[in-house]
């Protein structure tokens, strides 16, 4: 009788472990598929402040009439300049929003800004949706340890959009989603 109990418990354990592995695989596939299948909503910046900068560390409001729009997944919610996921976790932010570029100015082209609570891990040129820009990845102290802001600056003809996406682990695979969102930018 004891042997049957052990065999039964072993079979149940194997079924549970197999089910968890299958569920994890399906979840990853559904996340990847969700990028293309998700419903999207649009944010339009008309009526919000536009900025200018000389050094990418201080910004001044300007009276230009530039604006932009961007699409994001329907399961995200926008409050002010911060995006939250369905679990109410901060996942992205319009750090500055729209910046009017000076003649010859490009994204993050001045000396690096040093912050007390942040470490620059990488800075690379990117091309997203036919637009050029820069991606900076930082390691930052957070209330639950560290997180890794992926700070994108994507350029239009006369303006640039600065937006951060937050990861709690480095290289989570969410860059496909970040870049899908950024590919929807329309500068007006």
The predicted model gives 72-82 an average pLDDT of 95
pLDDT over threshold 90, residue 43: yes
pLDDT over threshold 90, residue 38: no
**Residues whose CB falls within 8 Å of the CB of residue 124, separated by 6 or more in sequence, listed in order:** 134, 135
pLDDT over threshold 70, residue 174: yes
pTM reported for the whole predicted model: 0.78
Which has more confidence, 19 or 71? 71
Provide the pairing of β-strand 131-142 with 118-128. Answer: antiparallel
- The tens digit of pLDDT for each residue in 110-161 reads 866 666 678 999 999 999 999 999 999 999 988 878 899 999 999 999 999 9
> What value, to the nearest 5°, has the Cα angle with vertex 111 and ends 109 and 114?
125
Packing angle, helices 2-37 and 175-182, rounded to 10 = 20
């Amino acid at each position: 009788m004891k042997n049957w109990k052990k065999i039964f418990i072993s079979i149940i354990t194997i079924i549970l472990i197999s089910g968890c592995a299958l569920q994890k695989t399906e979840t990853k596939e559904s996340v990847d598929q969700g990028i293309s299948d998700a419903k999207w909503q649009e944010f339009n910046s008309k009526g919000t402040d536009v900025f200018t900068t000389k050094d990418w560390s201080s910004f001044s409001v300007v009276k230009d009439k530039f604006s932009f729009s961007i699409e994001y997944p329907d399961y995200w919610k926008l409050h002010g300049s911060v995006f939250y996921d369905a679990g109410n976790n901060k996942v992205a932010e319009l750090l500055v929003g729209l910046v009017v570029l000076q003649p010859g100015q490009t994204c993050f082209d001045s000396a690096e800004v040093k912050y007390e609570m942040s470490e620059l891990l990488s800075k690379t040129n990117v091309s997203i949706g036919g637009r050029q820009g820069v991606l900076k990845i930082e390691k930052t102290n957070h209330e639950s340890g560290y997180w890794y802001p992926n700070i994108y600056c994507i350029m239009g003809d006369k303006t640039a959009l600065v937006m951060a996406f937050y990861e709690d682990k480095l290289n989570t695979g969410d860059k496909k989603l970040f870049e899908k969102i950024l590919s929807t930018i329309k500068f007006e």
